[in-house]
């Protein structure tokens, strides 16, 4: 919200619609909506409430930004209907074919994939890949090793995707070219299930499990060929996180999560700048974060899903341009 001091001395334009592009510091009056506005910059980071999902889902999210996200499937097949987010509300879409639990998801809002998954009684993992094109699903190439694991994908679309799957015997790492999977160097066997961000040539893994079921503060860098240990998280920030981000050398944001064994959900939010982790504005309340993970920059954090909640939270970083409504206060 802008105040008198934000617009003092400015020449106010009288326009029938909001300008595009809009310059920093520009002030105008929209005669159609009868609202005065100014283009400013956020002074601090914050979490805001977005639109509620139609159904609670756990485990799978992808997207391009806060205005173009997708929630894919639920926990162990309870909900297979896709929901898309436009920055304001969620809309139901088609259903995926398989009802496996803890499937991995990655890619963009109109170019995403669902990989692997498991069923119980008896416990079984799968190699299936389903590709989403914005309107429906089709069958993709099967992975070389069966596995599962929410948050375990890195890459920008389903033709350049990486997957670190959790298998009964450890982890495996594969790259997808839109047709077939290629096995590459796995992450260290002592760490699995961490949040991943980046591309098939530049990624970072934050936290995750170490056997038997403890979460760790350890973090890893991936250069497309090999994994290297990097600065770890602070004590108490271990967990299975949600997040968003770019590459291993630029902005990555992780938020929320669950600590194991039985240490509960967390509200911590942490930013990676390529060399160190820094605390950011915490979530309004502790929450698991296995969904989220949209956009290629940390300023576009979006947290959604994790049964039983349908609530959506949007992250706004400091120093980001935004349009504010001018009020009389």
Q: pLDDT for 56-71, tens place per residue?
A: 776 677 877 788 888 8
Q: How far apart are CA 56 and CA 54, in angstroms?
A: 7
Residues 178, 197: Cα–Cα separation, whole Å = 19
For 144-150, what is the mean pLDDT?
84
Output the pLDDT for position 294: 59
Kindly state the tokens that stand for 63.
Answer: 């997207």
Structural domain harbouring 235: 46-316
**What percent of the chain stands above pLDDT 70?**
86
Q: Based on the domain organization, do 179 and 268 belong to the same domain?
A: yes
* 10 band by pLDDT with thresholds 50, 70 and 90: low
Q: Is the domain of 108 the same as that of 38?
A: no
CATH number at residue 56: 2.120.10.80
Mean pLDDT rounded to a whole number for the chain: 82
CB 243 within 8 A of CB 224: no
Tell me whether strands 202-206 and 13-15 are parallel, antiparallel or unpaired. unpaired
* 323, 183 contact by CB (below 8 A): no
In a 10 Å sphere around its CB, with 0-12 CB exposed, 13-18 middle and 19+ buried, how is residue 31 labelled? exposed
Q: Is 250 or 94 the better-scoring residue by pLDDT? A: 94
Run of H or E residues at 153: strand 153-155
Dihedral (CA of 316, 288, 65, 230) sign: positive
- Secondary structure class of 58 (helix, strand, coil): coil
Residue 246 pLDDT: 62
The pTM of this model reads: 0.82
Q: Does 120 lie in the same domain as 55?
A: yes
The region of weakest confidence among 88-102, 183-197, 219-233 is 183-197
What pLDDT does residue 75 have? Answer: 63
- Cβ 106 vs Cβ 97: under 8 Å: no
**Which pLDDT does position 77 carry in this prediction?**
59
Based on the domain organization, do 211 and 83 belong to the same domain?
A: yes
Residues 142 and 176 in one domain: yes
What's 262's DSSP letter?
T
Counting residues of the chain whose pLDDT is more than 90, the rounded percentage is 21
Q: Which residue has the higher pLDDT, 126 or 249?
A: 126
Q: Domains in the chain: how many in total?
A: 2
Answer whether 109's CB lies under 8 Å from 134's CB.
yes
Same domain, 25 and 157: no
Regarding whether 146 and 17 lie in a shared domain, the answer is: no
DSSP count for the chain of H helices, then E strands:
1, 32
User: 97 with 129, same domain?
Assistant: yes
Indicate the Cα dihedral angle 320, 245, 225, 115, nearest 10°.
-150
pLDDT at position 133 = 92
- Say what the alpha-carbon torsion angle 53, 199, 296, 71 is, to the nearest 10 degrees: -10
Residues 189 and 285 in one domain: yes
Contacts 24+ apart (CB under 8 A), 94-97: 94/135, 94/136, 94/137, 95/137, 96/72, 96/130, 96/132, 96/137, 97/130, 97/137, 97/139
Q: Which residue has the higher pLDDT, 213 or 295?
A: 213
Cα separation, 104 vs 60, in Å, equals 6
Q: What is the pLDDT of residues 84-128, one digit of tens each?
A: 999 899 999 999 888 888 788 888 888 888 888 888 888 899 999
What does DSSP say about strands 27-30 and 13-15: parallel, antiparallel, or unpaired?
Answer: parallel
Whether residues 242 and 290 fall in one domain? yes
The Cβ-side half-sphere exposure at 95, using a 13 Å CA radius, reads 11
| Statement to judge: residues 11 and 142 lie in one domain | no
Mean pLDDT of 292-321: 75
**What distance in Å separates the CA atoms of residue 12 and residue 37, rounded to the nearest whole number?**
9
> pLDDT higher for 60 or 265?
265
**Co-location of 33 and 159 in the same domain:** no
């Amino acid at each position: 919200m802008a105040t008198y001091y934000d617009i003092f001395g400015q020449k106010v334009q009288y326009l029938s619609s909001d300008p595009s592009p809009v310059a920093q510091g520009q002030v105008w009056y929209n005669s159609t909506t009868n609202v005065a506005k100014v283009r400013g910059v956020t002074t601090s980071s914050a979490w805001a409430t977005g639109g509620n999902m139609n159904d609670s889902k756990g485990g799978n999210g992808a997207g391009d930004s806060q205005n173009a996200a997708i929630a894919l499937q639920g926990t162990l097949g309870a909900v297979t209907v896709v929901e898309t987010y436009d920055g304001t509300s969620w809309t139901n879409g088609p259903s995926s074919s398989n009802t496996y639990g803890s499937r991995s998801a990655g890619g963009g809002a109109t170019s995403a994939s669902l990989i692997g998954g498991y069923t119980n009684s008896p416990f079984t993992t799968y190699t299936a890949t389903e590709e989403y094109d914005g309107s429906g699903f089709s069958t993709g190439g099967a992975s070389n090793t069966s596995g599962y694991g929410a948050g375990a994908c890195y890459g920008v679309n389903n033709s350049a995707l990486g997957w670190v799957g959790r298998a009964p015997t450890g982890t495996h790492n594969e790259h997808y070219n839109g047709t077939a999977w290629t096995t590459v160097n796995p992450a260290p066997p002592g760490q699995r299930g961490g949040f991943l961000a980046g591309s098939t040539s530049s990624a970072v893994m934050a936290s995750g499990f170490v056997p038997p079921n403890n979460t760790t503060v350890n973090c890893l860098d991936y250069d497309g060929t090999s994994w290297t240990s990097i600065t770890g998280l602070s004590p108490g920030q271990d967990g299975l996180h949600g997040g968003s981000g770019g590459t291993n050398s630029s902005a990555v944001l992780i938020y929320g999560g669950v600590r194991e064994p039985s240490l509960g959900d967390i509200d911590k939010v942490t930013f990676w700048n390529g060399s160190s982790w820094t605390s950011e504005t915490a979530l309004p309340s502790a929450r698991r974060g296995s969904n989220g993970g949209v956009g290629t920059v940390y300023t576009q954090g979006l947290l959604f899903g994790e049964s039983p909640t349908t609530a959506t939270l949007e992250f706004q970083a400091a120093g980001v341009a935004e349009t504010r409504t001018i009020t009389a206060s």
